[in-house]
Amino acid sequence: MAKIASSKIQSLPQAVSELVHDGDVVALEGFTHLIPFAAGHEIIRQGRRDLTLVRMTPDLVYDQMIGAGCASKLVFSWGGNPGVGSLHRMRDALGAGWPVPLQIEEHSHAGMANRYVAGASGLPFAVLRGYAGTELPEHTDTISTVTCPFTGEELAAVKALNPDVSIVHAQRADRAGNVQFWGILGVQKEAVLAAQRAIVTVEEIVDELTPVPGAVVLPSWVLDAVVVAPGGAAPSYAHGYYDRDNAAYKAWDKVSRDREAFSVWLKDLKENAS
């Protein structure tokens, strides 16, 4: 048993190379906290193409991946640089098709969260009391309605989301690859359990997972790869390890506004393996 479990611990290049393929539906989740930047950067370095990128809040990491030409479609509910402004690489891909055209599938936060819940639950759809009167359902074919069999009430139905691969970042794992994370939990547990394959990057490997109040533990048998990537969530943060680098979020605005400045950033990323 231990032998099988320990094989889950891999290097980041190996995990991305084996588990993320061109054309996959890929979710990198983390709600402001624990955003898997290192994994996103590795996907850029390995030159993945034609991905459908799924994320509730496509912020910097997806702006970078879109700008690098990894994505042909984005599934999301709020796309911006939180507290700073717009995602300029995303806008450039949507408006001008640079470097490649980008399609979108747009939801609300509640819609996206419930799509992951349905996916993780093994159900074809989820029900919520939302979207009524909004124009989103007209443009998004994964939003429909369903009639309650008990009350006759019409409710919104959203299609389950089952990514080919989900990637999240966590505080720590044990040597068998059981993962523990805490703080703002976002939708990471649901994204992992909804996916066909899952990669978790962690700050550190420990001998024993000491209990932490409110922490989530994902057992190694629901994961495909556990990767040690200290600082792997920066410039977002890892509660108890390091803070959010707000200056980096503000600085990204300038880099991303200009294709040339972005291209310099991209070249730099590709030449400097983490």
Partner 1 sequence: MMSVAASRALRDGQACFVGIGLPSTAANLARRLHAPDLVLIYESGTIGTEPDELPLSIGDGILAESALSVVSVPEIFNYWLQPGRIDVGFLSGAQIDRFGNINTTVIGEYAEPSVRLPGSGGAPEIAASCREVIVVMRQRLRAFVSQVDFVTSVGHGSGPGDRARLGLRGAGPVRVITDLGVLEPDPESAELVLTALHTGITIEQVHAETGWELEISPDLKITAPPTEKELSTLRGLKTVGAS
Instruction: Give residues in contact with partner 1 (CB under 8 A).
Output: 31-33, 56-57, 76-80, 82-84, 86, 90-91, 94-95, 106-110, 113-114, 116-117, 128-136, 139, 153-154, 183-187, 189-190, 214, 237, 239, 243-244, 246-247, 249
- Report how far Cα 168 is from the mean position of its chain's Cα atoms: 7
Cβ proximity to partner 1, 109 vs 175, nearer residue: 109
- Apex 50 CA angle, 89 and 85, nearest 5: 20
> Which amino acid is residue 177, in one-letter code?
G
Taking the alpha carbons of 218, 219, 225, 226 in that order, is the dihedral positive or negative? Answer: positive
Q: Which of the 8 DSSP states describes residue 214?
A: T
Contact 179, 226 (CB under 8 A): yes
Q: Which of the 8 DSSP states describes residue 144?
A: E
Cβ proximity to partner 1, 10 vs 186, nearer residue: 186
Cβ proximity to partner 1, 18 vs 245, nearer residue: 245
Q: How far apart are CB 189 and partner 1 at their closest, in Å? A: 7
Q: How far apart are CB 207 and partner 1 at their closest, in Å? A: 27
CA distance 164 to 195: 6
Q: How far apart are CB 30 and partner 1 at their closest, in Å? A: 9
Q: How far apart are CB 83 and partner 1 at their closest, in Å? A: 4
Cβ proximity to partner 1, 15 vs 30, nearer residue: 30
Cβ proximity to partner 1, 141 vs 268, nearer residue: 141
Q: How far apart are CB 107 and partner 1 at their closest, in Å? A: 7
The three-class DSSP label of residue 63 is helix
Q: How far apart are CB 29 and partner 1 at their closest, in Å? A: 9
Q: Tokens 């061109």 correspond to what residue?
A: 22
Cβ proximity to partner 1, 77 vs 166, nearer residue: 77
Contact 38, 201 (CB under 8 A): yes
Task: Give burial (CB, 10 Å; 0-12/13-18/19+) of 97.
Answer: exposed
Beta bridge mates, 104 = 74
- Report how far Cα 127 is from the mean position of its chain's Cα atoms: 23
Beta bridge mates, 227 = 10, 201
Q: How far apart are CB 47 and partner 1 at their closest, in Å? A: 27
Cβ proximity to partner 1, 126 vs 199, nearer residue: 126
Q: Three-class SS string for 18-30?
A: HHCCCCCEEEECC
